[in-house]
Structure 1
Amino acid sequence: MANKIPNRQVICDTLLRLAENDPDIMVLASDSRGSAAMGPFADTFPEQFVEVGIAEQNIVGIAAGLAHSGKKPYVTSPACFLSMRSIEQIKVDVAYSATNVKLVGISGGVSYGALGMSHHSVQDLAVMRAIPGLAIVLPADRHETKKMTEALVSYEGGAYMRIGRNPVEDVYESDDYEFVIGQASKMREGTDITIIAAGETVRVALDAYAELLEAGVSARILNMHTIKPLDEAAIISAARETGRIITVEEHSIHGGLGAAVAEVVVQHHPVPVRILGIPDEPAIAGKTAEVFNHYGINASNIKQIALELLGR
């Protein structure tokens, strides 16, 4: 049966459970308790919930103040607004001030669909990567979302977690596995080529693995759930052992996962790298699957790219 639970609901459920024994956990919303699925948290722990309204700059500043007071604030706001309107506060109040603020960008990537460029967030990783000391994480499914939310509660320092809007197909069978921030998850072994993905494109990479296997290609699949701090060792090993890399992301081809991987490869073990994502244009409006297919973020195109890199 297909998963019907969106990652935003998993975050709420996890924080509800953790907050029962930790009164310092707080959730802040920018008129987004509904879209962030944080209504149950607000109802259960009203003293640990702050509704700021449509004031994204303020929400980050308030969260930083709460963190300075010993609280563990989670800011939940649409990724498109949180990553663009609040960037100065994230830079100064969170990063420069070294506050323990967790920023949750909901409905990230192109998951706002038909609302188009104003609501798409395909530049957020590039912007956040350039801010010192800010961790950046993207869960691939509901199981990883749970593990990631738990890990972030005990993670000291600022972090940006980007999730989509709708339920996504599971890539893990359960949450019974080890999750470590900054340590990539090897989803499949392979020797011919490596496909590195993050967030909802991990499912796409796994589908490509199956198609490549049928074509006689052994593909390594890495779930690079942490964009920063980046697992450079896993990338260098992939370059040395497979000789070719494809990156897949729900983000601009500039400054995101592909750029981060290429920066490591070119400095440590240069091999051919192909970056698959949103090109340098306003992404088309449409459902996530439609946008992905339009830009070739699908298994068949990844297979074709892999075969080209392998000279087949």
Structure 2
Amino acid sequence: MVEKRPAIAITMGDPAGVGPEIIAKSLSTKQLFSECLPFVIGDASMLERAVEVTGAEADVRIIDHPSKALFQHGVIDIVDLNLVPPDLSWGEISEAAGHAAFSYLEHAVMLANNGDIQGVCTAPLNKEALHKAGHLYPGHTEILARLTHTRTFAMMLSAPGLKVIHATTHVGLLDAVEKINVQREYDVIKLADETLRTAGFENPAIGVCGINPHAGENGLFGNGEEEEKVIPAVEKAQGEGINVQGPLPADTLFFRAKRGDFDIVVAQYHDQGHGPVKVLGLEAGVNITVGLPIIRTSVDHGTAFDIAGRNIADEQSLNEALRMAVQLAPDR
């Protein structure tokens, strides 16, 4: 019998953050195992501590490869890279934890490239710890692009009733406007269309935000950025049969998308897209890197060092990220 459930690697993220806890809680849920074959890449000592902290009814089982995993409720299989001391302090920035978070992701990409797994789901890392360890990346997205040699990619956020894809993300506002160009706009529109079609949308409706207030209002605001950078890309995509409209005023586009007029919104910069998604529900948000040769989803929250190790962190976003990975995973 062919196994229909995709194998999904869950990377622990920064082991000093809430990653171990939300993993322990999520993988103690029986329903999850009927949907996928989940296992962890991280440090077993931290996962064992998280199981104790959360009271999760599961045993931690060390494996060296996902082919050795049991994938059964009551057991959490982990590829133990053993990179941090077992007494690592919760909620503290450290070089060891930053390097560990990078290494977990690197190992997951290797397994995905080898065809051993069908998707990667990431717990949050801490950028300061990552940089302290010498890995000078803005975040997961850029690391994954580098590890997979991907040049055209984008960050997509999904919350209940709203999906957003970004033309730019982790750059300052002035730099974002500078980086936006016709080719980038077109690439992001194309990625949005392809990703939603993979997820089962027959003809996804795409709305593109303007860069300026009121989408420039025919040159009243800004310096013609919509006419120069956005409109040619939208027209090119429309010429290829993509169901896209824009540029549209961002202040009403997100409302219209939530109402159902659009299946996804193209945001031009970080806060334009992140704000509406996080208002709708930080706990249920999912972060997806599109354009990669592998499936990658993530929680839509940070390491939450202030509550790490206290059994407060909510695992709902991780559960949603795992379900999204299953939905996007290629046929086995």
Same structural fold, with TM-score higher than 0.5 when normalized by the shorter chain? no
Give the structure, 1 or 2, with the largest relative contact order (CA under 8 Å, sep 6 or more): 2
TM-score (norm 1): 0.32
TM-score (norm 2): 0.30
